[in-house]
A and B are shown apart, each in its own frame.
Chain A
Amino acid sequence: MLALDIQNLNKKYDHFQLKNVTFQLEKGYIMGFIGANGAGKTTTIKSILNMIQLDSGDVRIMGKRMAEHELELKQDIGCAFGGIEFYTRSKIGKLTEVIKPFYKNWDDDTYYGYLKRFKLDENKKIAELSTGMKVKYNLAIALSHGAKLLILDEPTSGLDPVARDDLLDIFQTLVIDGEISILFSTHITSDLEKCADFITYIDNGQIINSADKEEFKASYRLLNGKESELGQVKDKLISYKINSFGFTGLIHAKDFDPASEIRSALPTLEEIMVYFAKKEEAYV
């Protein structure tokens, strides 16, 4: 079953547009949503949650169309965005009292469990929280109403390495029964190397690739060759850099002849992102 099925999302702004954004997340898995700043990650997430009016497109969550079952589906979705820009002069406990009644399956034990795990003090005011604390508070809320689908916008940004590791551990524990699915955007790719099953990569409003992580990485090769060898592959490279040792460049695996003399390696997610970004620059 698909936890999330997104078909042909389109939204045009003056200087930016989402173009036919399409991807699926199978139930019980973790998907990392990556892309540079301004690539369209947050816009996509907001349109999934119906926080943006789409020009066209279809969002289905657990088989139901979001457009028709929004309120019902939102009971089963936990979402978190970076900051909290409201009720900033209230205490955490007060804000929770406001949010709680919206959810039928709110569970106080789970909530207090996460407060404790995240070392959050209910008597602190929202305005007094650090960035990392706000992220954690958002997550505690998102995790406390029995959500089946978590949609998190950069949940790990602003967290220190220990807190990030702890959060990834929570993610993996949540999906262990195969019931809960998680979509989270990030640009800290090491987080994804650890726990993501699927990677969806958005660049300039378009999905470049959405596949299981190993497959995703295996569909590219990082080449490393002498400058004299560059000519053989130059046209097919997504982008490349030249230095005194020769060149390094990213290529689609299908465009590369493995019998070639040029050394090739499996790129990391970060390398894939960097070389795609360089391609953009080349056109500007």
Chain B
Amino acid sequence: MNVAISSSSEKPIYQQLFEQISAQILKGELPSGYCLPPIRQAAQELQISVITVKKAWEELERSRLIHTITGKGCFVAEFTNEEMLRMRNEMISKQMAIDASYYKSFGLTLEEVIAMMKEIYQ
């Protein structure tokens, strides 16, 4: 598991944790059954508070990306390919909505955005 926390970011730290870990799960980098480190240990290693890690883990659980086995720990859940695809698309469209409103604020049309995107994507 790979996490980089920025304390100067506008995003709350638990949000950063949640986003980075869920991205890794949805990209398949963290396989199902992968055991997440215990909350208090993660907090100490990342030098963030226990509550912050707890919130991120809870958020992951609510999104059904991980599940908790009492006394054993938190594990990456199992999903079918369709579920994975659906969750991935949900996450990407959330980011797209943010980006789109930024483009709109400059008055770009959809065609212009697509044209620029094509260029950048190559």
Contacts and interface: CB of A to CB of B under 8 A. Distances in A.
A266 B7 CA distance: 12
Q: Which has the most chain A C-beta neighbours within 10 Å: B14, B43, B44, B49?
A: B49
B54 to A, nearest CB: 9
B33 interface: no
A176 B41 contact: yes
Interface residues on A, range: 20 to 34
Given A176-B40, A176-B44, A195 B12 contact: no
B49 A195 contact: yes
B86 to A, nearest CB: 28
Contacts of A213: 49, 51-52
Query: Is chain A's interface secondary structure helix, strand, loop, or mixed overall?
Result: helix
Interface residues of B, number: 16
Nearest to B14: A214
A266 B14 CA distance: 14
A195 B10 contact: no
Interface in A258-277: 265-266
Contact of A265 (B10, B50, B52): B10
A197 B41 CA distance: 14
B51 A193 contact: no
A172 B51 contact: no
Interface in B41-60: 41, 43-44, 47-52, 55
Contacts of B52: 197, 213-214
Interface in A166-194: 168-169, 172-173, 175-178, 193-194
B49 A169 contact: no
Contact of B12 (A176, A177, A196, A214): A214
B47 A194 contact: yes
Contacts of A212: 51
B13 to A, nearest CB: 8
A168 B49 CA distance: 11
Contacts of B10: 265-266
Contacts of A172: 43-44, 47
A218 interface: yes
A35 B70 CA distance: 39
Q: Which has the most chain B C-beta neighbours within 10 Å: A177, A213, A217?
A: A213
B22 to A, nearest CB: 18
Nearest to B52: A214
Contacts of B55: 214
Contacts of B7: 193-194
Interface string B53-79: 001000000000000000000000000
A214 B49 CA distance: 10
Interface in A197-249: 197-198, 212-214, 217-218
Given A30-B49, A176-B40, 19 more contacts: A29-B50, A29-B51, A172-B43, A172-B47, A175-B40, A176-B41, A178-B40, A194-B7, A194-B48, A194-B49, A195-B47, A197-B52, A214-B12, A214-B52, A214-B55, A218-B12, A265-B10, A266-B10, A266-B12
Interface of A: 28-30, 168-169, 172-173, 175-178, 193-198, 212-214, 217-218, 265-266
Q: Which 4 A-B pairs have the closest CB atoms?
A: A172-B44, A197-B51, A197-B49, A176-B40
20 contacts: A28-B50, A29-B50, A30-B50, A169-B44, A169-B47, A172-B47, A175-B40, A176-B44, A194-B7, A194-B48, A194-B49, A195-B48, A197-B50, A213-B49, A213-B52, A214-B14, A214-B52, A265-B10, A266-B10, A266-B12
